[in-house]
Amino acid sequence: MNILRNSLAVAAASTLLALTAACGSGQTAVCEEAIKAFTDYSSKAAAAAGDVKGLNTATADLAAQLKDLSGKADGDVKVALAGMADSWGSFKIDLKDPAAAAKLSEFGQKATQATQELGSACS
């Protein structure tokens, strides 16, 4: 569980760094809201240590926030946020799933790609 939580925290931290560096576009407010969403998510994920349901809820909440933000954005930022919302929204931890480790790896790749797209769009 710690590996899973740590992996999600790393993905969120990577996104935060990309957003912080990329907030130079005309959509600064949306970028700042996205940074806040990821900061809040990191806190919630840390607080949910050992609580799969809590971590899944925090992840679903982040996906909903990103989807809402995509509605406030334009162009590439909108597309990138929607992609991130889809990536985070499709991730749910199921400890009974034998393929959970592979899904975590796939999720990490999707989150990284979406982060890069958002970073490019916000710059």
**Which two structure tokens, joined as six digits, stand for 32?**
């700042």
**Which phi-psi region, left, alpha or beta, contains residue 100 (left: φ > 0; alpha: ψ -120 to 50)?**
alpha
pLDDT, tens digit, for every residue of 53-63?
888 898 899 99
DSSP 3-state percent helix, strand, coil across the chain (nearest 5): 80, 0, 20
Q: Which residues contact 110 (CB under 8 A, 6 or more apart)?
A: 87, 90
> 24 and 123 in contact (C-beta within 8 Å)?
yes
Share of the chain above pLDDT 70, in %: 63
Q: pLDDT tens across 50-101, in order? A: 787 888 898 899 999 999 999 998 887 788 888 889 888 888 878 787 776 6
pLDDT at 7: 54
Assess whether pLDDT exceeds 90 at residue 29: no
17 phi, psi to nearest 5 deg: -60, -45
Count of structural domains, the chain: 1
Q: Assess whether pLDDT exceeds 70 at residue 16.
A: no
- The pLDDT value recorded for residue 45 is 78
Q: What percent of the chain has pLDDT over 90?
A: 11
pLDDT over 80 at 30, yes or no: yes
Domain span at residue 112 reads 2-122
Lowest mean pLDDT among 17-21, 43-47, 87-91, 117-121: 17-21
